[in-house]
Structure 1
């Protein structure tokens, strides 16, 4: 990456999308650890809930794409995280799909993610899953964090913790329980000015897809007192363009492109 892309110490947060997911299987310990080693400012994760109530780091609403779940459990009618216990999910290979070097890489819980980053300089950006079959997952995440007061206090003091969601209801449900944690609204479309004004009454971040982001949007979000993190930016030219607009953070599969000089 050329020097025209601002580094994090110049005010741009480098946010590792599902960990360093361009170089390791997404949302695994390998991807989280690599993001930390690459000096990402945040690891972005996805929060889902198992059948027995364990919060796990997994993105898709079903598990076929990134695990061997169909081979391990061939007779199950559905392959959602919520259809399996944590003991069952621990049996899955979540790495071979990416590369044979990661064969046997396991799924990890949200607690596992926190244990891997809590004594590092890398923060946590947790996305509440938008998968429609969940209810109460925002409350579950808040209660899990409330059970870790020492971690939360330190992370907030160092501006290393935030939560985001595509669902306004989930974001506000979380915020009601943990108002001190910065909350972001994810948007695949360009928010209207009316939507931005409404968001500014409760949200700390507006996090749109980078393809709908321009200078006017960045300036308006800032004018309304919010930050803006754009996703998912992997191409160097797009990284330079977004940095030039003055966004607050870039969510990327390749954090090393922004952290290495």
Structure 2
């Protein structure tokens, strides 16, 4: 079967077709008036409407050969949100417990990670809902080929089967500073318990925040993942049991999951992820979402000072991803962003 959707990238914005048309139009009119009122009054409507559609790839910013010192980061240490992308993907295998613990050692305030669902209902930590050919070794010791990776569908496997695939020993060819080590995709509950215990043992540390993404796409509901309600309920069950709700943000490119969270669990913070190269603007994205989330999280190439001002005026934080250059981190901090998601948390040191 030919599958749609860019699984190696981030999942796109989806519309909830089951939502009442009348209710949706009413909510969006109020939201649009609020956003447009600010933009007209501040004179930045034209700048935001133009957007920034420069073509960047997530990893085109070449990582530094040696860690650079980010002096401005040090100056705002207490207020700036330093997020380790998939733990510290540039340094250790992504979305593993080892990567999370090392990110804590490097002083991150927030652990950023991704979640998918197994056939037997377990929430595991993975960026794709299948085994990525770049990092995976099969049970027989051979490497996963690009043509077969989507057939290794985690939503069609039970948890025990997923643990037969190694996702760390090969390293990652796009991250030359990453230290390879054997690893499997962990259960979210095990990752949380490991992190919380690690902090307790090192009792001079502050408990971290968690920024957890739902990896879903409307076109692959029931194929690579459950529909939004089932996905969110499974995730909320794990994070509730882990006692991290007060330190949690749930982020997604799939706005259906964010709308479900907003309606069912309004106390949980939400972050709207915006894809690189997007041609929309703040108004259109908030109209699509239907409410104002806690955080607006665009690709860093889309961030301008006008956008930062507009986001802050609506009471949101702005958190760009994925920034792998100390120079760019400094520039974005000077512009006024509230945090940075990076594969290299050592750039904050």
Q: TM-score, length-normalised on structure 1?
A: 0.87
Superposed CA RMSD in Å reads: 2.5
Question: Quick check: 1:139 aligned with 2:233?
Answer: yes
Equivalence for 1:215? 305
Partners of 1:200 and 1:226 within 8 A in 2: no
Q: 1:195 aligns with which of 281, 284, 299?
A: 284
Partners of 2:274 and 2:298 within 8 A in 1: yes
More strand as a share of residues: 1
Equivalence for 1:50? 118
Tell me which moved more, 222-231 or 184-193: 184-193
Question: Quick check: 1:114 aligned with 2:185?
Answer: no
Q: Deviations over 1:197-246 (max 9, x none)?
A: 54583411110000011101111000011111100000111111111111
Partners of 2:189 and 2:239 within 8 A in 1: no
Structure whose alpha-carbon radius of gyration is higher? 2
Q: 1:60 aligns with which of 102, 116, 128?
A: 128
Partners of 1:47 and 1:129 within 8 A in 2: yes
How far residue 6 of structure 1 moved from its aligned partner, in angstroms, is 4.9
Task: Name structure 2 gaps, 5 residues minimum.
Answer: 1-68, 173-177, 200-206
Structure 1's 77 and 116: CA in aligned 2 closer, same or farther, altered over 3 A?
Answer: closer
Q: TM-score, length-normalised on structure 2?
A: 0.66
How far residue 15 of structure 1 moved from its aligned partner, in angstroms, is 0.4
- What SS class does the counterpart of residue 238 from structure 1 fall into? helix
Structure 1's 244 and 101: CA in aligned 2 closer, same or farther, altered over 3 A?
Answer: closer
Question: Quick check: 1:90 aligned with 2:163?
Answer: yes
Question: Quick check: 1:250 aligned with 2:340?
Answer: yes
Equivalence for 2:49? none
Question: Quick check: 1:37 aligned with 2:111?
Answer: no
How many residues in Structure 1 have an aligned counterpart in Structure 2?
252
CA distance in 1, matches of 2:318, 2:149: 41
Tell me which moved more, 111-120 or 201-210: 111-120
Structure 1's 8 and 68: CA in aligned 2 closer, same or farther, altered over 3 A?
Answer: farther
CA distance in 2, matches of 1:254, 1:7: 19
